[in-house]
Every structure is written in structure tokens, then in C-alpha cells.
A = this chain, B = another copy of it.
Amino acid sequence: MSTHPLDGTVRALAFDVFGTVVDWRGSIVREGAEFAARHGIRVDWPRFADAWRAGYRPAMQKVRSGELPWLRIDALHRLILDGLLTEHGMSGLAEDDIACLNNVWHRLDPWPDAVPGLTRLKNRYVITTLSNGNFSLLTNMAKRAGLPWDCIVSAELFHHYKPDPETYLGTAELLGIAAAELMLVACHPDDLRAARAAGCRTGYVARPLEMGPGQPPARVEDGEFDVVAGDFVELAERLGA
């Protein structure tokens, strides 16, 4: 086991989920292909997945700004999906089938290193989600994928979406620790910068395939984050777990 300068100061790790822990794009493309075959339709699933995800940030922004009341991600995903189905000429689907498709976000597959890395990290740290995904989504996802969380924490518990500081501070408070004892782990620099501004430590894990092959990598300054790793197993190594 390697040691690390953070040893003894970080007590819990909170993980961003979509992109950081699970491959949302690959999962939607895979399940989408089965869905299309079952319903005898043709869909460009990579494009569909990208458009679905692209609608997510503006929808959350409407909640953060107060334009929309608090709505969980399941509801935001459905709002975006309804628009996409019309655009893609898929408006003839039955309600049950649409609801099932919307719930694909509960059934995303983890990156291959996620479960082994988390299992190691759990030996030394409290490990939790800190995702904008709703509580039931994260619970169902963990159960299906075998993600060994100590607990589930969601933006839903705070009625604030990341990057609002209430989410990072609220997680530390629920865990009974100081913000400086909590490390956010994410593949999104903006999420990490907001966590750092709230007083948390930060762990950056690169996920170059999150947006599909051939996309430019995220821009990260040298020394900007406390730990940088290529995957969760390397993160465990660097954090002495």
C-alpha cells in the first residue's frame, strides 16, 4: 500500500456518478438497440443519447434558477425524452414503453474499473454517491450493478443540484464530518472546482470515453486537484487503499 499526503485528513469520498462511475452513453446505446429491435424501429442511438444528455444541464439550470420547481432527474429526463421522441418520429410508443425507456438511467453499466476500485476504497474510506440523479435511481443502479456504496446521497436530499454548494456541504453534514474531510471524485472539472470552492478536497479521474470515441479530453490545470488518476484502481492506489 502506498501512502499519500492526504492520509488521515480525508475520511469520506463522494462520487459523481454519470460519466464518473457509469458509462451512460454506452449503456443507452446498448439498451437502445434492444429497444429498437423489440419495437421494430430505427434510431441513431449515439446521437439520441447525446441529445438526451445535452438537455439535462439546461433542464437542471431551470430548477436551479427557480424557473421550474424542484423536479427529480427522472422527471427532467422524461421532459427531454418526450421532446426527443417527437423529433425522432417515435411518438407512437405506449406509455409503459416510454416509462421503461426513461428508466434506462437506473440501469447504466459501470466502467470496468469502478467496482474493483470502489471495493478497495471502501476498506479505508466511507464511500458514497453525490449525484444529481435521484435517490431511487442511484439505489436501483447500485443494486443492479453491484456498486458497494456505504450510503446513497443525492441532490434530491437537498433540493439543490450540483454545483450548488449546498450539495457538497450537505453531504459532509450528513456524514458528520467537516467539508475538508470530504473528497469529491469526478471526471468533470466544473463539479470539482465547485466542491473545492465549498472547502472539499478533490479527486479527478479521467473518463476520455464518456462522450464517445474521439472527443477532446477535459482541460485540467497542473496541481488544480488534490489527486489525479486514470481510473478507480489507480485512485485507490494513490489514496493508500
State whether the Cβ of A29 lies closer than 8 Å to any Cβ in chain B: no
| Choice from B136, B143, B156, B175 contacting A136 with Cβ under 8 Å | B175
| Distance (whole angstroms) from the CB of A100 to the closest CB of chain B | 14
Let me know if A175 and B126 touch, CB within 8 A. Answer: no
State whether the Cβ of A85 lies closer than 8 Å to any Cβ in chain B: no
Chain B contacts of A134 at CB under 8 A? Answer: 176
Q: A156-B174, A174-B156, A176-B74 are in contact. Are A126 and B150 (CB under 8 A)?
A: no
A156 to B139, CA, bound (A): 18
Bitwise, A136-162 to B at CB < 8 A (1) or not (0) is 111110110000011110001100000
Let me know if B126 and A174 touch, CB within 8 A. Answer: no
A151 to B177, CA, bound (A): 19
Chain B contacts of A150 at CB under 8 A? Answer: 139, 142-143, 152
State whether the Cβ of A168 lies closer than 8 Å to any Cβ in chain B: no
Bitwise, A177-191 to B at CB < 8 A (1) or not (0) is 100000000000000
What residue of chain B has the Cβ atom nearest to residue A136's Cβ? B176
Chain B contacts of A135 at CB under 8 A? Answer: 151, 174-176
What residue of chain B has the Cβ atom nearest to residue A172's Cβ? B136
Query: Which chain A residues in 111-148 approach chain B with CB under 8 Å?
Result: 126, 128, 134-140, 142-143
Q: How many copies does the complex hold?
A: 2
Chain B contacts of A139 at CB under 8 A? Answer: 126, 128, 150-151, 175
Interface centre among A151, A175, A177 (most CB of B within 10 A): A151
A240 to B150, CA, bound (A): 26
Chain B contacts of A143 at CB under 8 A? Answer: 126, 150
Chain B contacts of A157 at CB under 8 A? Answer: 157
Contacts A74-B176, A135-B174 aside, 7 further interface pairs with beta carbons under 8 A come to A126-B140, A135-B151, A135-B176, A136-B175, A150-B152, A151-B151, A157-B157
